[in-house]
Amino acid sequence: MLAFSVEDSGIGIPLEKQQLIFEAFQQADGSTNRKFGGTGLGLSICRELSRLLGGEIRVNSETGRGSTFTLYLPAQGMIMPKDRTRTVVAETKPALFSLEKPQEQTQVTDDRQDLVQGDHPLLIIEDDAVYAERLRDLSQARGYKTVVALTGAEGLYYAQTYRPTAILLDIFLPDTDGWSLLKSLKNDPVLQSIPVHIISAGDEPRHNLQGAVSFLNKAASREDFEAIFARIAEHLPSSEKKILVLTGTQLRSQSLTGWLAERNFQINTQFVTSLPEALLRLQHQEFHCLLMDAGEASEAVLATLDQLHGALGTHQIPFILFLDQDLSPTDESRFKKVSDVIIRNSPLAKDRLLDELELFLFKVESQPVVPKANVVMAEKALKGKKILLVDDDMRNVFSLSTLLEEYEMDTITAGDGRESLEVLQNNPDTDLILMDVMMPEMDGYEAIQHIRANPQFQELPIIALTAKAMQGDREKSIQAGASDYISKPVDTKQLLSLLRVWLSRG
């Protein structure tokens, strides 16, 4: 590995916040306009760039004594970019430390030698060999073939090699923290759909679980562990998919029923119209996803979601919140703590909802269970499409263009609104534009208006990107002519969902 360190003599960072500084701006703190004091996106972007290069960033700091940030990169295996718009990495899978195969553990016996083609074992990533043996025994007693990793790098290698049915992940690992490993798993297009259950000696985070399905303390009862394995069984390919929909109007129920029928999902959808009825259903049945059609955001909606979470206990399932209006940054942060996805009612709400359900419900099978025609359509919707990416921050350009090229899309770039008009004129076959709205010279709003003034591009999909997620920004983008809106830092899954929706319309 190569290591580059930057040291300062500032006020330092408390130990309990040293991981938070990389992730905090996923919430409302990321809404500040970067032209006025920065967005706080720097560390988030740098960590993403380091991951794409096969490395990672660590911080070492003491309060009052400054901080040292160290970037680790693999010494070999990289191909330098041929030009400023295309970067090719020899190994596209996320790597924590090295692109080479890690040393496999021999302390804990498992089923690695007994796996056959088509097996999807349960993967345990736990550095305590004794505790790993306990989890292995619980897993094997329920009929699961089990693979055990004692380090994060080994766990990632096994996940890539064996494509497990589920992962039991410890947070305190010797070579990395579990949250970083979880992010690597969720950023890998192949591995991101594998359910991850966190089992840790620490406290459950106050915010969301960053893509994990559940959190369980190591001191939990046997009944709690039984519940985890019951949840794993629910996500096996043979399990029936069940959705509970809490909605206040019969008319909306009819609409949602029609939407679900369009995608031909093999699911059992149950509708309830009150919280007591929803709690009763959750008490007597196992569901794979809960959709709450809340209409307007309110304190009552928050309280309802809290009660639903409480009723589920350790059996947490994905929550999708359907709203009629945008949220302020403060409300966005509060509602994201109790829901996995927030969908605003719009002409594209149906497609967004179906995409999210597809990700949540059909995410473990080795072969897609959705109709083959839909899979082919999703692949065609992305592959070979030309995307114009407009952003004056080259870190964002690099990160997003690398993501797009992983899905075999062609990316062209512009550094501001004025340049985007020239690039678009030279590339009239552009399929979609990702437009940052806060740029010098000509901002995104003005650029969109100029593009829409040209009859040739009136139907061209334009998705507005902004770090300034203030209430009303979406309306301003749509009024300027944007087709849709997504805030920074960009959620990969949400962006890909938007791209599939808009690129498949043609």
Q: Which string of DSSP letters, residue by residue, matches 231-291?
A: HHHHTSTTSPEEEEEEES-HHHHHHHHHHHHHHT--EEEEEESSHHHHHHHHHH---SEEE
Distance of CA 504 to CAs 316, 383, 456, 486, Å? 33, 11, 19, 18
Domain 372-503: CATH class, spelled out: alpha beta
Give pLDDT, residue 95: 42
Assess contact for 164 and 194: CB atoms under 8 A.
yes
Domain with CATH 3.30.565.10 in the chain: 2-73
Orientation angle between helical segments 299-312 and 275-284, nearest 10 degrees: 20
Fold of domain 241-361: Rossmann fold (3.40.50)
Q: Phi/psi at 389 (nearest 5 deg)?
A: -105, 120
Per-residue pLDDT of the chain in tens (506 residues, 90 and over written 9): 889 999 988 888 887 777 767 764 433 233 333 333 344 567 777 877 887 777 888 888 888 888 899 998 887 654 444 333 333 333 333 444 454 678 888 999 998 887 766 667 899 999 889 989 988 888 887 777 899 999 988 999 999 888 888 999 998 888 887 888 888 888 877 788 788 888 887 666 655 667 788 888 887 777 777 777 777 776 665 445 778 888 866 556 667 767 766 665 667 778 888 888 888 888 777 788 888 888 777 888 888 888 888 888 766 788 888 888 777 767 777 787 788 778 887 777 777 777 777 666 654 333 333 333 443 444 567 888 999 999 887 777 888 888 888 888 999 999 888 999 999 999 999 999 999 888 777 888 899 999 999 999 999 999 998 655 445 666 778 888 988 888 777 777 778 888 888 887 65
Report d(CA 182, CA 203) in Å as an integer: 17
Nearest residue to 51 via CA among 403, 360, 292: 403
> Which residues have a Cβ under 8 Å from the Cβ of 111 and sit 6 or more positions away?
121, 140, 145, 146, 147
Contact 484, 463 (CB under 8 A): yes
506 Cβ partners below 8 Å, 6+ apart?
431
H or E stretch covering 74: none
207 phi/psi in degrees, rounded to 5: -95, -160
What CA–CA distance (Å, rounded) separates 144 from 364? 15
Fold of 2-73: Heat Shock Protein 90 (3.30.565)
The whole-angstrom separation of Cα 297 and Cα 54 is 41
pTM given for the model: 0.37
Decide: 74 and 54 in contact? Cβ < 8 Å: yes
Listed in order, the ranges of the chain carrying CATH 3.40.50.2300 are: 112-234, 241-361, 372-503
- CATH no. of 112-234: 3.40.50.2300
What ranges make up the beta strands (E) of 27-184? 56-61, 67-73, 122-125, 146-149, 166-169
- The 10 Å Cβ neighbour count of residue 294 is 22
The H or E element that residue 52 is part of is: helix 42-52
> For 192, phi and psi rounded to 5 degrees?
-60, -20
**Confidence (pLDDT) at 68:** 92
